[in-house]
A and B are shown apart, each in its own frame.
Chain A
Amino acid sequence: MRLSRPLLAGLVMATLLGTAACGSSGTDSPAPGASGSESGLVVYSGRNETLIAPLLAQFTKATGIAVTPRYGGSAELAAQLLEEGDRTPADVFLSQDAGALGALQEADGLEVLPEATLAKVPAKYRSAEGAWVGVSGRSRVLVYNPDLVNAADLPKSVFDLTKPAYKGKVGFAPTNASFQAFVTGMRVSAGEERTKAFLEGFKANSPQSFEGNVPILEAVDAGTIAFGLINHYYLYEKAAEAGGLDKVTARNYLFPGTDPGSLVNVGGVGVLKGKQSPDAQAFVDYLLSTEGQTFFAEQTKEYPLIAGVPVALEGLPPLAELGGPAVDLSQLESLDQTLALLDEVGLT
């Protein structure tokens, strides 16, 4: 007994102490904010930390408002927000794409933003109900290697990629969210039948599957493959690293008109239900300010969505002239049908 009591007591103490101590000292965070107030504005970010952390620092510097971020996948964070309901510690949700914001809007999880905020962005790039607003735009492109392809021989439509001329020459990333959004955009704009026919023809044309957009661009740039279906900004990020677009071989190509191959999607922001506050509003406004928009233009090479912010995307038209299918971005949340279709066709 003399031995066992201290033993058990020790175990219990160790558990309690360990668990309790950890709440304060176990991590970097000085005060993880269930209540939110002591740690400033709590931002759930579906966009990568490497990208967003400097922007948050810039915001805090400009406004004096402290921000505590939680990073995760946009969809996972949206599901977490739905699970947390009105007790969420989050004030603001910054999403990689419109679909996750659309899902929160549908569950009545977002505040309606003020008209003045919404009006800064073209109607196409924000929620029709005013629950979220786009902060940066990106276009799907066909990236190609000019050493292997004549500009004159570029396809007029993404549907042409099923032709024999492109057999085995196109790279794509079937599990990438942007590729899936492109397929969703095609389903919504061109219909299920035509999309299915396209995907079957595309698969029969032996496209090369990659695990992400960057490897596709690398392969096209190196000339191991002629074409790739990716987002526009990867080329400009690579150009910035290499010291100029002239140091890079690959080029972007936009399918003309309302071709589904040139879908324009946005990253966006919304304020959680019941969390409307001057600080939250300041954050949304900052993202849509000249500084915030310039950040996206320079750092992520995406399109700024407010008027008057310059963007240096050599070879691409300005935002107002971008085409792409006319789809309501909130409709892009019907991803499950897209995945079922991709699965049915066998493109996974």
Chain B
Amino acid sequence: MTLLQDVPAREGTPLPGQRRTRSSSATARPPLLLLVPAVLTALVALLPLAYLVVRAGEQGLDTVGDVLLRERTARLLLRSLTMAAAVTAASLVVGVALAWLTVRSDLPGRRVWAVVAALPLAVPTYVAAFAWISFLPELAGPVGAFVVLTTCSYPYVLLPVAATLRRMDPASEEVARSLGLSPWQAFLRATLPQLRPAMAAGGLLVALYSLSDFGAVSIMRFDAFTRVIYTSYRASFDRTPAAVLGLLLVAVTCVLVWLEGRTRGRASYARVGGGGARTQPRVRLGRLTLPALGLATAVAGLSLGVPVAALGYWSAVGAGAGLEPARLVSAAGTSVVLASLGALVTTLLAIPVGVLAARRRGRLPQLLERAAWVGHALPGIVVAFSLVFLAVRYAYPLYQRTPVLVLAYVVLFLPLAVGAVRASAAQSPPGLEEVARSSGARPLAVLGRVTLPLAAPGIGAGAVLVFLTCMKELPATLLLQPLGSATLATEMWTQTGVAAYSAAAPYAVLLVLMSALPTYLLGVRTGGLDGGRT
């Protein structure tokens, strides 16, 4: 038996059929060391579900039926799903293209482009939407929402795809070429299939991001499903319809996560055999260099140029009038502390789920991993209200204190970390763990000395991703942050509430700048500026 499991040592000779093959070890009972924390994490992720079921059910099944069968519900769900599909498709095209150009081609300045292409992660959708609408008010509507969502979320595809491309063994593509395929055919038939898991994982994040985002759709006045949930709180003060709609969103998420699981397939992606992957030859773009540069420039212009220009303009107009530096610094400090805590706790909780998902097949690890997605599909306000409900009843001393807000971040952003842990654990060959096991290392030692160190860079990248997302989070932070405190995001909300873009600009600028540094690190990592490390 492999990995972290102690079974052979305790039970002596393996039973027939329990041979030391990958498949049997992968389906065996998961070790308690991972299982118990993984179950706990999954339960945390499912907390909002408990609340939604209570709230949805309190007025009887008839009300549930009424809400679900409303014509408006179906129409808006369809509209949001269409938007999510369009944004996901566009993000896949842009993300894969830029990843390939920056990793595999001789695009001039490709290392700089690798960083630039990741930077839109630092831009919150509400900032991008405000920027677009201030330059082009007529963009409001589906087109505007599509542009903002795509330009803000394609890095979710870019990063995992670029990372996979960098680690990919060129051998398979070379074999394809030697069998007479054109470079394009070789990409389609040898490279693309290997990118499928990364594309599916990134695409799922983009799809759920589009479904649950409220900032872009509300500013772009695109009547999306999340707006129905928000207006349901806002308009009727009746939490039952909002809860029913939240459950519907969870159901949709389950379908999408299941689809992603099918797309990911069951193939094994760790390199086996001696030696490491060779350095990949760069594809010469030749005549395609200019169009490729054009694409990279256009994407950067749309996703970074527009928000940066708007922020610059607002800052210039306001010229720091009424700016309170102490307030700015304090908000920045609060943002960093809260986002760091969110990233730390989320990543720690994600490790057991992610490692299990990477190393074990079977119902339970799969179920635990999928449970992590529940909160991610829900709009921040729904998660916030569910934690208000639970904390007030069962953790009152912590209510409106930092731990409950951090818990909200965990529930909202767990999949970002779980995905990172799973992907990096899956890529470190299980054989190394087997070697450690057979040399007598105990399960905990294998986890601490082999599995985690090998996966550490990927896990770190996941933590950075969670950090970035926490920095931008607004609705849950507004409702759950400790009394009297403020983050950069909530300060921006305050300033734009009186339509003072120029007063909001310094907070937005600082938010984007402070997020740009970790994003830069992510871009550097996947762009290959850090030498040979993966």
A residues at B contact (CB < 8 Å):
1, 3-5, 7-8, 11, 14-15, 18-19, 22-23, 26-30, 32-34, 39, 42, 48-51, 68-73, 75-76, 78-80, 82-85, 87-89, 100, 103, 107, 174-175, 209-215, 333, 335-336, 338-340, 343, 348
Contact = CB atoms under 8 A, between A and B. Distances in A.
A22 B484 CA distance: 14
A32 B234 contact: no
B279 interface: no
B402 A23 contact: yes
B69 to A, nearest CB: 15
Contact of A15 (B234, B345, B448): B345
A129 to B, nearest CB: 17
A26 B330 contact: no
Contact of A18 (B238, B341, B448, B484): B341
A83 B385 contact: yes
Interface string B157-200: 00000000000000000000000000000000000000000000
Contacts of A3: 445, 448-449
A174 to B, nearest CB: 7
Nearest to B447: A4
A103 to B, nearest CB: 4
Nearest to A70: B483
Nearest to A213: B499
Contact of B485 (A32, A79, A89, A107): A32
Contacts of B401: 23, 32, 34
B481 interface: yes
Contact of A39 (B393, B442, B483, B499): B483
Nearest to B242: A79
B92 to A, nearest CB: 29
Contacts of B239: 79, 82-83
Interface stretch (B100-108, B217-225, B305-313, B524-532): B217-225
Contact of B338 (A5, A26, A33, A68): A26
A68 B448 contact: no
Among B402, B448, B481: residue with most chain A CB under 10 A: B402
A80 B479 contact: yes
A340 B72 contact: yes
B221 A19 contact: no
B234 A335 contact: yes
The size class of the interface chain B forms with chain A is 35 or more
Contacts of A89: 399-400, 483
A49 to B, nearest CB: 5
A83 B389 contact: yes
B486 A28 contact: yes
Interface stretch (B286-294, B422-430, B490-498): B490-498
Nearest to B336: A26
B485 A175 contact: no
Contacts of B388: 80, 83-84
Nearest to A35: B397
B140 interface: yes
Contacts of B448: 3-5, 7-8
Interface in B210-248: 218-219, 221, 223, 231-239
Contacts of A82: 237, 239
Contacts of B499: 212-215
B483 A87 contact: no
Nearest to A210: B137
B418 to A, nearest CB: 17
Given A4-B449, A18-B344, A348 B223 contact: yes
B237 A4 contact: no
13 contacts: A4-B447, A14-B344, A22-B402, A23-B398, A23-B403, A27-B485, A34-B398, A39-B483, A49-B494, A83-B385, A83-B392, A100-B237, A336-B236
Contacts of A214: 499
B320 to A, nearest CB: 16
A42 B483 CA distance: 9
Given A26-B338, A211-B219, 6 more contacts: A23-B402, A27-B402, A30-B484, A73-B234, A76-B381, A83-B388
B517 to A, nearest CB: 20
A333 B348 CA distance: 44
B482 A339 contact: no
B494 A19 contact: no
A126 to B, nearest CB: 19
B498 A50 contact: yes
Given A19-B341, A75-B237, A80 B221 contact: no
